[in-house]
Structure 1
Amino acid sequence: MKRYFHATRPKFFPASLLPVLAGSAWGFMVSGQFDAAIFGIALVATLCVHAGANVLNDVGDDAGGTDRQNEDRIYPYTGGSRFIQAGILSASGMARLGITLLSIATVAGFWLFLVKGPMVLWFGIAGVLLATLYSLGPVRLSAVGLGEISVGVAFGILPVVGSAWLQSGTIDVGLVMFALPISAWVAAILLINEVPDIVPDEATGKRTLAVRLGNKGTAVLYALIHAFAAAIAVWLALASPLPVVTPVVPFLLLLLAFKASQAIRLGINDRPAMTKAIESTLAIHTIGSIWLVGCALFVAFWGS
């Protein structure tokens, strides 16, 4: 079982766990009610979609030859799990694992559908569809420069809005805006992880945003994504129930982001700096998301 667990690349699980937590905190803030069972099932569904997407991405990259050619990967962050290339699991075994995980997510989603109604179907279908099309199928969103958008939706807007709706039964502009910084931070994780893989991705026809923009263009986009997240936090402080201190941490996190953007310019030529930049990006997502959870819970318990 241990090898199957590690094949899912669990270091990235906060990217799916924290949006559910954030959305649930917003829903609790709005409604004053919290259903622990609904929260738990939503967490299982989202986590299984994420794990399944990670596994199927390895299958897709192996089929395209990307991971086999990748000599510059930064383990365990880029270049996939390497389980197929190392012979730990076969490509068919990984595919079965990915399908099993998505099936579990579907069952969890069906339970939520029975309890909460047909609205759940739209969230579930969108999540599973994006997870599948990201890596497989005729489009392969990750290979045509649409990976960041699909990941931002699948691991930002969808789980945040969906989890909040499950707790409160309402969706409004404030909730969608609340989801946007988390979407931006998770998209930045994917973007920076593509940088060490630029050479093998380009060689195998995987035209990620990093391949299309190059190191300098990617560094600029990366910085803009984080600036966007901070700007949305200002809007949340001014036009949503969240407290006026909401932008403080997102703006402090810009210091980490701009330092990481400098490492992106050098790319794989400075492996230690690139590794630290990836770790900083993961930290930005974690710290920023937890901060937003805290802001929502502060309002829920003590008011704005």
Structure 2
Amino acid sequence: MTHPNDDHSSFDASTEERPRWVRLRALFEMARPEQVLLMALVYALGVAAAVAWGASLDFGHLGVAFAAFTPVALTIHYANEYADYETDLLADRTPFSGGSGSLARTGLPRSLARRATLASGVLSVVVVAGGVTAGLLSIAEATLLAGIFILGVEYSLPPLALAWRGVGAVDNAILGGLLLPVYGVLAASGSLTVVDVVPFVPFTLLVFVNLLATTWPDRDPDAAVGKRTLVTRLSTRTLRGLHVGGVVAAYGSLLVATGTVIPVPVTFATLLALPFSVWGAVRYTRSRSPFPAVAAMVVAAAAHFCAWAVFVA
């Protein structure tokens, strides 16, 4: 059984030096820029909700807060590329699964991802600590960023390696569906309450369903290298039930919270994602493509943001 901490230096040694532009392109691709853009949308979703609740827009601080988050996100992505090196070599990628595929495609060494993880990790610490010291970030913001950093890196790497222990989907859903928009709320308003967290629970559940779908195509490569994700541990029937249950819980919690912590326009906008969720539930485990669940998550995020920003604020 392999482990995300293993590094196969024999491959590194046998790999001839690539041109600098190839390495730079690989670093760019491993940073997963399309995911960073989606993260910016989810962060803005939290900001829009905070403004709807009465917060004032301070674009300067909001920009600083997201800039501080960016190296944290890059560290998480590079750590994932490093940990998943072997499974990505075996994976038959889809546009939404199988990692960036950069190391497998170029033959660049796994150590490139390790060095990028260390460099971006150090940068994260410097930027966040410097932001607090300079009075640009609050202690609360820095604490939340530290939590995101730890949960994100431990998704892939020891000692926890959560994705390898079957709880990575839960961890990732909390990170991308809950903590990131909550960070946007905190950056905009300067404080948090339980009420600020609850409106993002339906979206968090959709992110979880999306992760069930995006890890499904990699179940065989993951199992081959000993990565015991949720989809490698559970039967097909159980996974389908979990997928349907996640969809029902997402839209059920949305309806339950409507009129109290979730405004009616936000609910109606989020329901635009429902057809994609139903499509995804019907196709799950019967098709390799996770597109319907991914589309549901993206449509929900965009609709959620637009509703908070336009119809509520």
TM-score interval w.r.t. the shorter chain?
0.7 to 0.9
Change (3 A) 1:223 1:18: farther
Counterpart code for 1:58:
E
How many Å separate the matches in 2 of 1:208 and 1:298?
Answer: 39
Map residues 51-62 of structure 1 onto 2, 5 A cutoff: 51-62=74-85
CA contact (8 A) 1:236 1:246 kept: no
1:216–1:251 distance in 2 versus 1, CA, 3 Å = farther
Alignment map for 1:104-115 (pairs within 5 Å): 104-113=123-132, 114-115=135-136
Give deviations 1:88-144, integer Å, cap 9, x for gaps.
532111112223333333344335433343212320111110111111112210111
- The answer to whether the 8 Å contact 1:46/1:159 transfers is no
* 2:58 is the alignment partner of 1:35: yes
Q: Distance in 2 between matches of 1:107 and 1:140?
A: 24
1:208-219 paired onto structure 2 within 5 Å: 208-219=229-240
Q: TM-score, normalised by structure 2?
A: 0.83
2:291 pairs with one of 276, 279, 285: 279
Instruction: Quote the residue 2:191 is aligned against.
Output: 170
Query: Structure 1 residues 44 and 283, CA, compared in 2 at 3 Å: closer, same or farther?
Result: farther
* Aligned-partner Cα distance in 2 for 1:61–1:154: 19
| Percent of pairs with identical residues | 21
d(CA) in 1 for partners of 2:122 and 2:202? 29
Contact 1:18 1:286 in 2 (8 A): no
Amino acid at match of 1:143: W
- Evaluate the alpha carbon distance shift between residue 108 and residue 155 of structure 1 in structure 2; reply closer, same or farther with a 3 A threshold: farther
Give the TM-score normalised by structure 1: 0.85
Structure 2 runs not aligned, ≥5 long = 1-23
Q: 2:73 is matched with which residue?
A: 50
Unaligned runs of 5+ in 1: 268-273
Report the counterpart of residue 233 of structure 1 in structure 2: 254
What's the offset of the Cα at 1:208? Answer: 0.8
Would you say the 8 A contact 2:164–2:228 is kept in 1? yes
The one-letter code sitting in structure 2 at the alignment partner of 1:18 is L
* Cα contact 1:24–1:163 (8 A) shared by 2: yes
Between the aligned partners of 2:35 and 2:240, the Cα distance in structure 1 is: 21
- 1:14 Cα deviation from its structure 2 partner: 4.1
Question: What is the match of residue 18 of structure 1?
Answer: 41
Alignment equivalent of 1:257, drawn from 277, 293, 298 = 277
- Counterpart-to-counterpart distance in 1, 2:106 and 2:281: 35
Q: Where do 1:1-304 residues align within 5 Å? A: 1-62=24-85, 65-70=86-91, 73-113=92-132, 114-240=135-261, 242-267=262-287, 274-275=288-289, 278-298=290-310, 301=313
In structure 2, the CA distance between the partners of 1:13 and 1:191, relative to structure 1 (3 Å rule), is: farther
Please give the secondary structure, in 1, of the residue aligned with 2:286: helix
Q: Is the 8 A contact 1:112 1:120 kept in 2?
A: no
Structure 2 vs 1, CA of residues 249 and 228 (structure 1 numbering), >3 Å: closer, same or farther? farther
* Matched residue count: 288
In 2, distance between residues paired with 1:188 and 1:43? 26
Which one-letter code corresponds to 1:132 in the other structure? V
**1:126-168 residue CA offsets vs partner (Å, 9 max, x unmatched):** 1110111111112210111111111122212212112211211
- Rounded to whole Å, the distance in 1 between the matches of 2:122 and 2:47 is 23
Distance 1:246 1:263, change over 3 A: same
Distance in 1 (CA, whole Å) between partners of 2:118 and 2:203 is 27
- Amino acid in the other structure paired with 2:300: G
Amino acid at match of 1:157: L
Aligned equivalents of 2:130 and 2:258: distance in 1?
36
Cα separation, partners in 2 of 1:211 and 1:93, compared to 1, 3 Å: same
Q: Distance in 2 between matches of 1:34 and 1:112?
A: 19
Give the superposition deviation at 1:20. Answer: 0.7
- For the aligned residue pairs, the C-alpha RMSD in angstroms reads 2.2
- How far has the Cα of 1:300 moved from its partner? 5.1
